């Protein structure tokens, strides 16, 4: 009997197949799991003031986890304080990333992280070594808590004179998390429109989402180097580009909307500049607004589409194709027009693989947005510009809307949910696939094809 058992034993072992999931799949399942948990919590009677449907709860949870801010129910009135707290926690987890909390928690309790888990975390943080991942994860948590606490304190002092201290405290807590994570969730149906000319609200809210949108790598570089000339090429290029884009966008929006009676024309001079600044910066995936987005000129809306598509910095709470991707594409185009073989940025050559990655990421993003626009135009029968704006806002996890979100059909809501999910996770998974070079087994003859 023993010999027979020994003979059959290997077959039993070989018949078992261990399921191997790729890092992007595990990350996607993690975010999906968080959305499911959030949906369940928002469906609880203690979470809502009215009957919230399963789809409405799922849409809200997806929007929170993907730090988008698009809503089909009013966050301030349809959810209780407990429900709003759940939304804030979902925003924090989705903005900073599940992997960040998991790594820090395991390190804190002395847990061991396997080699495969290290690979997954390295892909999630877009880093090249495990040591850098651990350092980054710790820094992300500490940095986020410090910035959010500072913003919360200032907002609390600002709102204290006009509301009860408990309400002011919760408002400051919610808005600090929502702003830093570029979520755009607000407790007022009009977002921050009542504060269009308020310097404190404008400075703190924009300061929070610009800080979160730059990316943790940039702030770590600033903290470690302390001097501009010692910063990395990436940090210099990103900071310079963000300043130029924000200032340029503010000036253009101010000029385009100055004679619009529904936006800037009815405001005082100082309010006009604050409104132009806020709308210029919020399109970088923040999602708050201080003027009516649906009342903007078509030219301003078109500019916002570009800004939402570009997004923020890498390893940040912002989405979009990312500023550095846009910079690489611009420099690659410039190099081609100047008949140069190398793409140069601030005196350094950008690897060709990086250029190919930028091209692939942008093309995939455009394709996904086009598909979403096509499907929405087929089934929604809404103004075309509103549909395009909604699709780009969802993919870029911006959260701005021209009023279409509340008019979406069931299919439209599901489609926007998918677009928000892909927009938040897509660049992450694409970075993993594109950063994993496959061995080249066979070369082919070169052929020239006409372009343009």
Where are the domains positioned within the chain? 6-435
* Beta-carbon count within 10 A of 98 CB: 17
Which pLDDT value is given to residue 4?
A: 46
CA dist., res. 423 & res. 312, Å (int): 13
Which pLDDT value is given to residue 294?
A: 93
Structure confidence at residue 121 as a pLDDT band (50, 70, 90): low
pLDDT higher than 60, residue 52: yes
Bigger pLDDT: 7 vs 132: 132
CA dist., res. 139 & res. 232, Å (int): 18
Arithmetic mean of pLDDT over the chain: 85
Which pLDDT value is given to residue 452?
A: 66
pLDDT higher than 60, residue 110: no
271: its two tokens: 């309010």
Q: How many residues does the chain have?
A: 452
CA dist., res. 416 & res. 93, Å (int): 20
353: its two tokens: 């693989």
CA dist., res. 234 & res. 348, Å (int): 10
Percentage above 90 pLDDT, the chain: 58
Percentage above 70 pLDDT, the chain: 81
Which pLDDT value is given to residue 130?
A: 55
Helical segments of 165-232, H only: 165-180, 199-214, 216-225
Does an H or E element contain 310, and which? helix 298-310
Structure confidence at residue 115 as a pLDDT band (50, 70, 90): low
pLDDT in tens, 199-238: 999 999 999 999 988 887 788 888 888 888 889 888 899 9
Bigger pLDDT: 136 vs 286: 286
Which pLDDT value is given to residue 23?
A: 61
Which pLDDT value is given to residue 353?
A: 87
Which pLDDT value is given to residue 154?
A: 97
Bigger pLDDT: 9 vs 363: 363
Contact 429, 27 (CB under 8 A): yes
Which pLDDT value is given to residue 99?
A: 53
Residue 345 Cα distances to 172, 213, 234, 242, 335, angstroms: 40, 22, 9, 16, 10
48: its two tokens: 């809502």
Q: By C-alpha distance, which of 63, 208, 98 is closest to 145? A: 208
Contact 91, 209 (CB under 8 A): no
Report the range of poorest mean pLDDT among 2-11, 21-30, 242-251.
2-11
SS3 348: strand
Most confident of 11-15, 236-240, 248-252, 343-347: 248-252
pLDDT (mean) for 297-310: 95
Does an H or E element contain 221, and which? helix 216-225
Count helices and strands (H / E) in the chain.
18, 2
pLDDT (mean) for 19-38: 79
Which pLDDT value is given to residue 112?
A: 53
77: its two tokens: 């009135």
Report the range of poorest mean pLDDT among 150-154, 159-163, 443-447.
443-447
Report the range of poorest mean pLDDT among 137-146, 265-274, 376-385.
137-146
* Beta-carbon count within 10 A of 3 CB: 7
pLDDT (mean) for 345-365: 89
Residue 69 Cα distances to 239, 240, 289, angstroms: 25, 27, 11
Which pLDDT value is given to residue 127?
A: 52
Identify the DSSP state of 19.
-
Structure confidence at residue 8 as a pLDDT band (50, 70, 90): very low
CA dist., res. 279 & res. 282, Å (int): 5
pLDDT (mean) for 309-330: 86
Report the range of poorest mean pLDDT among 48-62, 102-116, 214-228.
102-116
Bigger pLDDT: 61 vs 128: 61
pLDDT higher than 90, residue 104: no
Contact 181, 211 (CB under 8 A): no
Which pLDDT value is given to residue 72?
A: 94
């Amino acid at each position: 009997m023993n010999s027979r058992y020994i003979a059959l034993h290997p077959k039993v072992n070989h018949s078992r197949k261990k399921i191997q999931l790729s890092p992007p799949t595990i990350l996607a399942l993690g975010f999906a799991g968080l959305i499911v948990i959030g949906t369940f919590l928002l469906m609880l009677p203690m979470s809502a003031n009215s009957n919230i449907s399963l789809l409405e709860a799922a849409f809200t949870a997806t929007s929170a986890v993907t730090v988008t801010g698009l809503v089909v129910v009013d966050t301030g009135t349809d959810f209780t304080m407990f429900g709003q707290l759940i939304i804030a926690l979902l925003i924090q987890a989705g903005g900073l990333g599940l992997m960040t909390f998991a790594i820090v928690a395991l390190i804190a309790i002395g847990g061991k992280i396997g080699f495969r888990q290290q690979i997954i975390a390295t892909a999630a943080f877009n880093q090249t070594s495990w040591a850098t991942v651990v350092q980054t994860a710790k820094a992300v948590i500490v940095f986020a808590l410090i910035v959010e606490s500072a913003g919360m304190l200032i907002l609390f002092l600002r709102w204290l004179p006009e509301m009860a201290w408990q309400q002011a405290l919760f408002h400051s807590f919610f808005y600090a998390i929502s702003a830093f994570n570029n979520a755009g969730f607000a407790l007022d149906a009009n977002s921050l429109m009542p504060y269009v000319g308020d310097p404190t609200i404008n400075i703190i809210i924009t300061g929070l989402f610009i800080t979160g949108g730059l990316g943790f790598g940039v702030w770590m570089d600033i903290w470690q180097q302390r001097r501009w000339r010692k910063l990395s090429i990436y940090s210099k290029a990103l900071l310079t580009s963000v300043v130029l884009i924000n200032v340029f966008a503010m000036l253009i929006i101010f000029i385009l909307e100055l004679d619009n009676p529904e936006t800037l024309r009815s405001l005082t001079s100082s309010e006009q500049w604050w409104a132009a600044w806020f709308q210029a910066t919020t399109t970088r995936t923040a999602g708050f607004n201080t003027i009516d987005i649906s009342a903007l000129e078509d030219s301003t809306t078109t500019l916002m589409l570009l800004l939402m598509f570009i997004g923020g910095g890498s390893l940040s709470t912002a989405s979009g194709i990312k500023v550095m991707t846009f910079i690489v594409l611009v420099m690659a185009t410039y190099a081609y027009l100047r008949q140069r073989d190398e793409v140069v940025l601030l005196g350094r050559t950008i690897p060709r693989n990086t250029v190919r990655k930028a091209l692939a990421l942008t093309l995939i993003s455009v394709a996904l947005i086009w598909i979403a626009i096509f499907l929405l135009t087929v089934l929604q029968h809404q103004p075309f510009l509103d549909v395009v704006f909604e699709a780009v806002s969802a993919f870029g996890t911006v959260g701005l809307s021209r009023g279409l979100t509340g008019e979406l059909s069931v299919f439209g809501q599901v489609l926007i949910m998918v677009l928000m999910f892909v927009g938040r996770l897509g660049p992450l998974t694409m970075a993993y696939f594109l950063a994993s070079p496959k061995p080249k087994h066979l070369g082919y003859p070169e052929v020239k094809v006409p372009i343009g």
